[in-house]
Structure 1
Amino acid sequence: MTKQIIIASISLVLFSVAMPAMAASTFTGTLSTGVQTGISGVLVVSPTALPVAGTYDSAQSVKLSASGASSIHYFLNTTDLNDALTCSTGSVYDSSTPIQMTGSGLIRAIACYGSHASPIASFTYVINTSSTPAPSSGGGGGGSVTPPATTNPLIGDINGDGKVDILDFNALLVQWGMTGSNLTADLDNNGKVDILDFNILIIHWTS
C-alpha cells in the first residue's frame, strides 16, 4: 500500500512538470474560428493607430482601428488620466475623419463591442514643425553666404547635458503642475508642465 502511494505521488509530480503553463483568456459573445474548439466568445482588442505614435516633422492624420468593434471612443489631450473613458463618454471616432494632430498631444482610446469595452490604448505624438530660415544671398562679391551650422537641441534634455535621463525626470518633477512661460520642462510649449511633457520625455529617454 505504501509503495502504491509513493508511485502515485511520483506520477502526479511528473505529470504536473510535463504540463505546459496555460494562459487565461476572456471572451464574450460568439467566437468563430473555423475549428471546433469548444470555446465561444468575441475577442476584445484595444484600438491601434496609424501612423504609429512617435515624433514627426509635420502634422499627422491619425487613423484608429479595432477589428470587429462596433465603435471606438477616444479622448484627445486629456491631462487628467482619471477621466473615465467608457463606451458612453469621450468622442466617437469616425473612420472617414482621421484625428488631426497639428501639435504634440496624447490620444487615449477604447474599442467597444456592444456593452464590452477594451483596455485603454494610449498614443503620444510629438510634432516638430519648426523650420530653418533660408540663407540670404551675399552682396558685393556676388557670392552666397553659408549660414552657420546649428545644433538642434535634444528633445527632452531639460538640463542640457546631451542626454535624456533621470536628471531630466527630476527637473520635470520639480516643475510639475507649474504654468507660465519659459518653463524648461514644458516640452510641448503649451504653457504648463503636465502628463504630455512626461510622455515626450519618456519617448526620447536615452537608453
Structure 2
Amino acid sequence: MLWYNLEEQKNLESRKSDADKLSRDAELYKLRQQLQPHFLFNSLNSISALAGKQPEQARKMIQQLSEFLRGALKKEDHQRVTLADELSHLQLYLDMEKMRFGHRLSTEITADETSMQLLLPPMLLQPIVENAIKFGLYDTTEAITITLTARSSEEFLEITVCNPFDPETSTPRQGTGFGLSSVQRRLYLLFARNDLLITAVEERYFSTTVKIPKNDTNAFNR
C-alpha cells in the first residue's frame, strides 16, 4: 500500500511537471502565432474582401470575430464547461467559416439533452473542427457537410467530428498537426490516458472522436 501511494505520488508529480512544460510550450506557440495567427489572418482577409462589395456582411463578420475572441478570453479562466457552452462558442467559429466559404460549407450538429449538460475542457472542439474543414474543404471545389455528433455512453461523453475525405487528394495522418496533437496531449494530462482521441478513415470519410470520462471528478483539478 505504501509503495502504491509513493508510486501514485510520483506519477502525479511527473504529470504536473508535464503540465507545466505544456503550458510553457503553449505560451511560446501562442507568441509565435501572434505574428501571423492562421485563423485571425484568414478572418481579417475575408473581412477585407467583403468590406468593398458587402459592407454589411463585413460588419457582421467583425462582430462574430469579436464575440469569438471575447469568449475565448473568458474561457481561459475555466477548467471545464458544459457541452452546451462549448457548442455555443463553436457556432461563432462555424458562422465565420460559412461566411468565408459560402454555400460550399454546411454543418450538422446532433447532441441529446443529457450530453449537452456534460462537462469537457474548454476550447477542445474548435481545433478538431478546424482540422475537419481543412481536410474536407481545402482539397475540393465541391460543397461538403461536416457533422458533429455527441452522445452520452455509460463511461464517456463521446463527440465525433466527421468530414468527407478523398484519398486521391488528401492524406490524413494520426494526430495531424498541432491542433489534434495538442488536444490529445491535453486529454492525457487531464485523464492520464492516451486512448481518448481516435482518428479513422472509413470509406470516403475521415472522423475524429474524442472521449471525455464522465466519472473522473478529480481530472480537472490535477
Q: Same fold (TM over 0.5)?
A: no
TM range (shorter): under 0.3
TM-score (norm 2): 0.22
Larger radius of gyration: 1
Instruction: Normalising by structure 1, report the TM-score.
Output: 0.23
Higher helix share: 2
